[in-house]
Chain A
Amino acid sequence: MKPAPFGYADPTSVAEVLDVLATEGDGAKVLAGGQSLIPLLSMRLAAPTTLVDINRVPGLDRVSAAPDGVRVGALVRHAHLLASAEAAAVQPLLGRATARVAHPAIRNRGTTVGSIVHADPSGEMTAVLAVTDGSVTVARGDGSAPVGWRDLFVGPLETSLHGAAVVVDAFFPALAPRSGTAFAEVARRKGDYAVCGAAVVVTLDEDRRVAAARAAYLSVGAVPEVHDLTDAVGGKPVDSADWAAAGELARGLVDPDGDLHASADYRRLLVGTLTARTLAEAAAEAERRTP
Chain B
Amino acid sequence: MTPGTDTERTISVVVNGVPREATVPVRRLLSDVLRSDLGLTGTHVGCEHGVCGACTVLLDGQPTRSCLVLGVQADGHRVTTVEGLSRSDHRGGQVLHPVQEAFRECHALQCGFCTPGFLTTIAAGLDARDATQPITDAEVDELVGGNLCRCTGYANIRKACRHAAEAMRQAATR
Contact = CB atoms under 8 A, between A and B. Distances in A.
Interface of A: 1-12, 16, 19-20, 23-24, 31, 34-35, 38-39, 41-43, 50-51, 53, 55, 79, 102-106, 108-109, 190-191
Interface in B23-79: 25-29, 32, 48-50, 53, 56, 59, 62-65, 67-70, 72-73
Given A108-B63, A108-B64, A191-B146, A9 B4 contact: yes
Contacts of A108: 59, 62-64
Contacts of B72: 8, 10, 53
B3 A5 contact: no
Nearest to A8: B26
Nearest to A190: B145
Contacts of A20: 2-3, 5
Given A19-B2, A20-B2, A105-B65, A35 B50 contact: yes
B70 A104 contact: no
B53 A23 contact: no
B49 A43 contact: yes
B64 A109 contact: yes
A34 B3 contact: no
Contacts of A34: 68-70, 73
Nearest to B120: A105
B44 to A, nearest CB: 14
A39 B25 CA distance: 18
Contacts of A23: 2
Contacts of A4: 27
22 contacts: A1-B49, A2-B28, A3-B27, A6-B27, A9-B5, A10-B3, A11-B3, A12-B3, A19-B2, A31-B70, A35-B65, A35-B68, A38-B50, A39-B49, A53-B73, A103-B145, A103-B146, A104-B121, A108-B62, A108-B64, A109-B59, A109-B62
